[in-house]
Amino acid sequence: MYFVKTPKIARAFNKKAIWNIPNNVKEVFLTFDDGPTPLITNHTLDILKKHKIKATFFCLGKQVEKHSEVFKKITDEGHAVGNHSYSHLKGWTTKNEQYLEDVRKGEAIIKSHLFRPPYGKIKRSQVNLLNPQTKIILWDVLPGDFSPSNNVEKIISNTLEAVESGSIIVLHDNAICGNKMLQALPIIIDKLKEKKYTFSAIAE
């Protein structure tokens, strides 16, 4: 089970995290997790370039090691990058020492103080052990491109129904759900532009 629109009560459990970035100018923030994945990420970058949009890519250290040229393309094209850990461990079921080692390993490769916990699941004790400079970036719109029950149309409608000014939207540039995401992304962008939304990367 997951929430397309993160409820306020859920946000209260991790007050140190950034769930959205409030503003009055209809600015939203597209983010992509789990890459870089060569074909998927490259096509994502092409779509963003076509629409002159900057986004934020929360990368896995192990993927950056394997596909450093794609990672370089992300940064060369002016997008922000964040740490999504090295190997995508779930904080709730991982001992603190192992979890922090994995996070720091990813940070050493990605070199960003932006951090998105895999699955959005992190213990309060793990939060307290992070580098004080770390910004935990979560989300308030989860379209569900990862769900086998969601088709492209559902991913689009989930986004459009939940988005508001300041929303952080999570999509995935991985091999499992990337193809659905790539079909949905241009339509999401077009529909949001029609509603006068603008797009920005998340600043460190």
Of 113, 172, 173, 190, the catalytic one is 172
Q: Is residue 139 part of a domain?
A: yes
Q: Is residue 58 part of a domain?
A: yes
> Which contacts qualify for 46-53: CB closer than 8 Å, 24 or more apart?
47/182, 47/185, 47/186, 47/189, 48/77, 48/79, 49/77, 51/186, 51/189, 51/193, 51/199, 53/189, 53/199
Q: What is the model's pLDDT at position 14?
A: 85
CATH of the domain at 40: 3.20.20.370
pTM above 0.85, yes or no: yes
pLDDT for position 100: 97
* pLDDT tens digit sequence for 153-175: 999 999 999 999 999 999 999 99
- Does some domain include residue 1? no
Say what percent of the chain tops pLDDT 90.
94
What is the rounded average pLDDT of the residues 171-197? Answer: 97
Q: State both tokens at 105.
A: 């390993």
Over the Cα atoms of the chain, what is R_g? 16
Any domain includes 69: yes
Total domains present in the chain: 1
Whether 183 maps to a domain, the answer reads yes
CA distances from 137 to 56, 68, 83 (A): 10, 23, 10
Residue that the structure tokens 């990813």 belong to: 106
Residue 12 placed within a domain: yes
Residue 88 designated active-site = no
In a domain, 3, yes or no: no
Residue 10 has pLDDT above 90, yes or no: no
Q: State the chain's mean pLDDT as an integer.
A: 96
Residue 140 sits in which domain range?
8-199
Catalytic residue check, 172 = yes
